Amino acid sequence: MSLHPDKVPLIHGLVDGELDAANTLAIEAHLKTCPDCRGEMSRIEAVREMLGSAALREPAPAALRDRIEALIEAEAPLPVTSRAAAPRTASPLRPSFAGGEITAHIFSRRWASGAFAGVAAAFLMLTLVVPQLAYTGTEDQLVQSHVRSLLAGHLLDVATSNRHVVKPWFNGKVDFAPPVPELADEGFPLVGGRLDYLDDHEVAAIVYRRRLHVINLFVRPARTLSLPVGVAARREGYSLLRWTAGGLEYWAVSDLDPRELQLFHQLYSARSTS
Amino acid sequence: MIGRGPFRPRLVRPDRDDRAQSQDYAKAERFRATMLPHMDAAYTLARYLSRDPSAAEDIVQDAFLRAYRGFEGWRGEAAKAWLLAIVRNCFLNKASDMAARATAQPIDEWAGELPPQLVERTNPETVLADKSEVAMLRATIEQLPEPFRETLVLRELEEMSYKDIATVTRVPIGTVMSRLARARQMLAEMLLPGAGREAQA
């Protein structure tokens, strides 16, 4: 008995899980009676096993990933960026954080002039949708800022673990004074600070570390329309945590476990008020 | 992220001024959600097709730009297959430029950039053995002629179905099957001592 060439495609189909029930049964019955075809099948499986190593796959280099994300951003600017460039100025009701575009549309002329149904629908959308969607654009920007900050030389404008240096450094650079508590004894050493941009405005980025992980804490004045609720999110493997305190809005971004980021938030808040 | 995706297009009722930009934004969001997760797959394919790390980066970047600009053409079919077909086209477009450099890379070049999980292992002998085995496997795959190599990479490394491979490589499923069988046979001859001749008997 020798290998049956007409069966070989079916053997491959079998190991690849590509056969329908009838063909599966047929080839399995044949394999029982044909040692050569069984040998062929074990060779195929041996080859597949050698190729199963994850090391053969090639993760995209981080620099390439950054370039591609920058490229998409260039093709489709975030709404707030393009809105700022648009001739029409923002109305007072228009939320100024990115991702608030749905809210913006609800308040736009079309909705405002709508009939009762429109108002009801807007109310439903406002209550059901806005809490989930309002921050998505901002979160994207935050993650991108965080990733950019990790590229060589971008993390810090002022590199020091001394909070008495970091805090005054922001003076005159931003028009608010973010608290810069010392958290090294809790395992979150201060690394420094830098200026960053969020929704076209300068924000303070205070940088802490947790072991080898970088935490970027973005701080800006809380907007009148920003919701006082906290937000915890995961995005592209990064944890984001939002809270507001003392008229400031905080966004912590890191690749840390969300629980550790929560711990960071608690310590930071406790030390900021004391 | 919660609440995104299918909701967005239906809920956004932009007035005329905002419509274009919010469509752009929705498109970018949709693209990020559907296509960016396949970047490693795109890079792996480009790497094995081009056999050149920097060319692979160019190919993938070019492919993502084209994919984004042609994203309206995506009809919701398998995202990975759609994207990898573009990667493959970008490679083919670049292939003439590549011809001069496309000679097989020496094994050492692969061995120099092993993924961390291998480097982190403590036993140096294991590390050496793994290095040479991974490097050897990669070099062996790279030696396969192109149609067999791409079919094999799409099946074994990208774990795609015959149907999706047929889409990417633009050949009938029967051709996918025969190329895959031939690729595996060639690998068996090179990798499994004494197995090759029998397989052809």
The domains of chain A are located at 8-55, 63-99+134-273
| Residue A98: closest C-alpha in chain B | B25
**Which residue shows structure tokens 């970027």?**
A216
- Cβ–Cβ under 8 Å, residues A269 and A243: yes
Element spanning A203, H or E: strand A201-210
pLDDT of the residue at B119? 38
CB interface of A with B, residues 98-157, below 8 Å: 101-102, 104-105, 108-111, 125, 129, 132-133, 136-137, 139-140
Which residue is closest to A86 within chain B, CA to CA?
A: B17
Per-residue confidence (pLDDT) for residue B22, from 0 to 100: 78
Q: Which amino acid is at A146?
A: H
Supply the pLDDT for residue B114: 41
Say what the pLDDT of residue A97 is: 43
Percentage with pLDDT > 70 across chain A: 73
Distance (Å, whole) CA B130 – CA A153: 35
With an 8 Å Cβ cutoff, is A246 touching chain B?
no
**Comparing A264 with A134, which gets the higher pLDDT?**
A264
Q: Please give the pLDDT value at position A164.
A: 82
CATH of B1-8+18-102, one of 3.40.50.2300, 2.60.40.10, 3.40.50.300, 1.10.1740.10: 1.10.1740.10
Q: How far is A6 from chain B (nearest CA, A)?
A: 11
- For residue B133, what pLDDT is reported? 80
* Neighbour-count burial of B136, counting CB atoms closer than 10 A to its CB (0-12 exposed, 13-18 middle, 19+ buried): middle
Look at B12 and A57 and tell me if their CB atoms are within 8 Å.
Answer: no
201-220 of A, contacting B, C-beta below 8 A:
none
**A18 interfacial to chain B (CB closer than 8 Å):** yes
**Quick check: A261 and A241 in contact, CB under 8 A?**
yes
Q: What pLDDT was estimated at residue B136?
A: 87
* Stretch among A14-28, A230-244, B90-104, B143-157 having the lowest mean pLDDT: B90-104
Q: How many CB pairs under 8 A join A and B?
A: 170
CA dihedral B64, B70, B73, B75 (to 10 degrees): 30
CATH code of the region A63-99+134-273: 3.30.200.100
Q: Are A244 and A222 in contact (CB under 8 A)?
A: yes
Flag if B43 and A44 touch (Cβ within 8 Å): no
- What are the extents of the domains in chain B? 1-8+18-102
Residue written as tokens 């404008």? A157
Cβ separation of A105 and B15 shorter than 8 Å? Answer: yes
pLDDT at A3 over 80: no
How far is A51 from A56, CA to CA, in rounded Å?
Answer: 7
Residues belonging to chain A: 274
DSSP assignment letter at B12: -
* Cβ-defined contact of A47 to B60 (cutoff 8 Å): no
Q: What angle do CA A25, A31, A36 make, to 5 degrees?
A: 155
Once rounded to an integer, what is the mean pLDDT over residues A225-236? Answer: 72
Q: Taking phi first (over 0 means left), then psi (-120 to 50 degrees means alpha), and beta for anything else, what does residue A211 get?
A: left
Residues A39-85 have pLDDT tens digits of 999 999 999 988 887 788 889 999 999 999 988 888 876 554 444 44
What are the 10-residue block averages of pLDDT along chain B, 201 residues in total?
A: 44 54 83 92 95 92 93 89 95 74 46 41 52 84 94 94 92 88 92 58 39
Residues A94, B10: Cα–Cα separation, whole Å:
20
- Neighboring chain A residues of B7 at a CB cutoff of 8 Å: 129, 133
Is the ipTM reported for this complex over the cut 0.85?
no
Q: What is the pLDDT of residues A166-225, one digit of tens each?
A: 888 888 788 888 999 989 888 899 988 888 878 778 889 999 988 878 899 999 988 766
Residue A256 has pLDDT above 60, yes or no: yes
Residues 6+ apart with CB under 8 A from A21: none
